[in-house]
Amino acid sequence: MMKWKKYWTDYLTGIAIAVPVVLAAAVDSNYGAVSAKEYEEVREAERMYPRAAPVDSVCPLIDFAVDSLCCIADPQRSLDAFLGELETLLSGKDTVVNVVHLGDSHVQAGFYSGQVMRLLQDAFGNAGRGWISPLKLAKVNEPKDYYITSTIRDWEIGRCIQKDPPCPLGPGAMGIRTLSDRVDFSIRISPVSGAGYAFRQVVLYRDSEAAPMLPVHGDTLPFDICWGSEDEAPGVVTDTFRLSEETDEMQLLAAPREDPADRTARKSANCYYGFSLTNGRPGILYHAVGQNGAMFVNYSRPEYVRRLALLKPSLIIVTLGTNEASVPESRFSAERFVEQMDRFVRTVKDCMPGTAILITTPAESFRRVRRQQHEQNRNIPKVAAAIRDYAGSNGIACFDLYGATGGVNSCRHWEKANLLGRDRVHYSVDGYCEQGKLLYRALIRLKLNQQNGETDGGD
């Protein structure tokens, strides 16, 4: 690694003038709408240790939830090490526990994973916003609590759901690349749905051939910069920017290459993957990684999982299965689904042997059969059963969201409660928040069971 250097914002002002800052307008969100003032008031309390032990007090509002099934089956106690790390946070240890929530469109939107993130951080400490992907620059939907913008418009986009992605993929299962050598990014935390996620450190993940970045800030805050000189994983370099105080926005500009010939030869390799935002405090760092249309097979490439391992997760929560279940009933093969799930699990265990895995079953939904015509998705129960059976046979922890929300015909309860989205495959913001509460409650119950010496793991 390059030795740490000081770069003051007045040094960079001349560069900043040439590149306009593009910031998105603030958008309110129904989830996590907490004022910045409220978070300021609890910051000092977050530093008071030890923390109070969490209690099973989060009550979902859906009346069709099956409370007895709101638990995690973990008979092999595969999550004990993770639960032990949570205990170190409660005891006051100055540490960060990384969680990755990997999934499909249910995760990409950020409502489901965002609810779990907020609740876990309320209980065990908020270490920052964690992973953020430039999803809108890739022309897809993005969580509402942050904005990543750029003046560059000609991005080439690679995503894990593509058979042959046109550019490499980073930890967020995507990458964006441009021919321009005048790359800029603006990062901003939403003042409403992003309250509490001001940051003191930004880690940029980029291709090893991409131009490193320099931060520009509007005040006199100094930055410590460490440009990665060696790959953290094959083809990936991280640049770290540390601030003297917290901020909710930052602009980054590509560092100019000294040799014009070198710039011309390498500008096509300006590929960037995303950022991790932290605040320097102990607690949970929750990295949500979701891609619309994703399936187990899309996350199973070893080269991708090695890059995901850069986030150093103690736990990976996996929310997949809906897209595998979207085919006609006659074409769904439970055996093939299990083979794909097993390939993913084995790859994760090979690349991250110390990381625990928690697989969730999908809640029931509908399936589109014709325009404006939907039917109950009869493959969802098969997917849920396959996940439960595989997890039980292979010592993998499982949260049965399908069962916890009523199982067969529960999609009609979701619809009646106005908790489904317009396409009747996805859920409303409130629907995802209810699912997040259930997952959090199951995790807390597992923690309390371990604390009380119960060993059945909810099985």
pLDDT tens digits along 150-167:
999 999 999 999 999 999
pLDDT tens digits along 27-57:
333 444 445 555 555 554 455 457 777 888 8
Mean pLDDT of 361-369: 87
The yes-or-no verdict on residue 453 having pLDDT over 80 is no
Alpha helix (H) ranges present in 159-275?
260-266
Q: What was the pLDDT predicted at 58?
A: 86
- If you average pLDDT over each of 180-184, 338-342, 368-372, which comes out highest? 338-342
C-alpha–C-alpha distance, residues 82 and 277, integer Å: 22
pLDDT tens digits along 207-250:
999 999 988 865 556 678 888 756 668 889 999 999 989 999 99
Pairing status of strand 174-178 against strand 270-278: antiparallel
pLDDT tens digits along 384-441:
999 999 999 999 999 999 999 999 999 899 999 999 888 888 899 999 999 999 999 9
The yes-or-no verdict on residue 15 having pLDDT over 80 is no
- Sign, CA dihedral 5-235-98-103, equals positive
Q: Range with the lowest mean pLDDT among 186-190, 210-214, 367-371, 432-436?
A: 367-371
pLDDT tens digits along 197-215:
999 999 999 999 999 998 8
366 vs 190: which has the higher pLDDT? 190
Q: What was the pLDDT predicted at 225?
A: 85
Q: What was the pLDDT predicted at 341?
A: 98
The yes-or-no verdict on residue 446 having pLDDT over 90 is yes
Q: What was the pLDDT predicted at 7?
A: 35
Q: What was the pLDDT predicted at 258?
A: 60
pLDDT-derived band at 255 (thresholds 50, 70, 90) equals confident
CA-to-CA dists, residue 200 to 128, 350, 367, angstroms? 9, 33, 44
- Concatenate the DSSP letters of all residues of 285-334 into one string: EEEEEE-TT--GGGG--HHHHHHHGGG--SEEEEE--TTGGGS-GGG--H
At 70, list the tokens.
Answer: 């709101």
Task: For residue 54, say if its preceding peptide bond is cis, omega within 30 degrees of 0.
Answer: no
Gyration radius (Cα) of the chain, Å? 22
pLDDT tens digits along 285-335:
999 999 999 999 999 999 999 999 999 999 999 999 999 999 999 999 999
The yes-or-no verdict on residue 98 having pLDDT over 50 is yes
Q: What was the pLDDT predicted at 161?
A: 97
Q: What was the pLDDT predicted at 28?
A: 35
Q: Are 82 and 314 in contact (CB under 8 A)?
A: yes
273 vs 50: which has the higher pLDDT? 273
Q: Are 244 and 221 in contact (CB under 8 A)?
A: yes
pLDDT tens digits along 108-124:
999 999 999 999 999 99
Mean pLDDT of 355-369: 92
Q: What was the pLDDT predicted at 455?
A: 56
Distance of CA 320 to the CA centre of its chain: 14
The yes-or-no verdict on residue 257 having pLDDT over 80 is no
C-alpha–C-alpha distance, residues 128 and 194, integer Å: 11
Q: What mean pLDDT, rounded, does the chain reach?
A: 86
364: phi then psi, degrees, rounded to nearest 5: -70, 145
Angle, to 10 degrees, between the axis of helix 80-90 and the axis of helix 111-124?
Answer: 50
C-alpha–C-alpha distance, residues 91 and 88, integer Å: 5
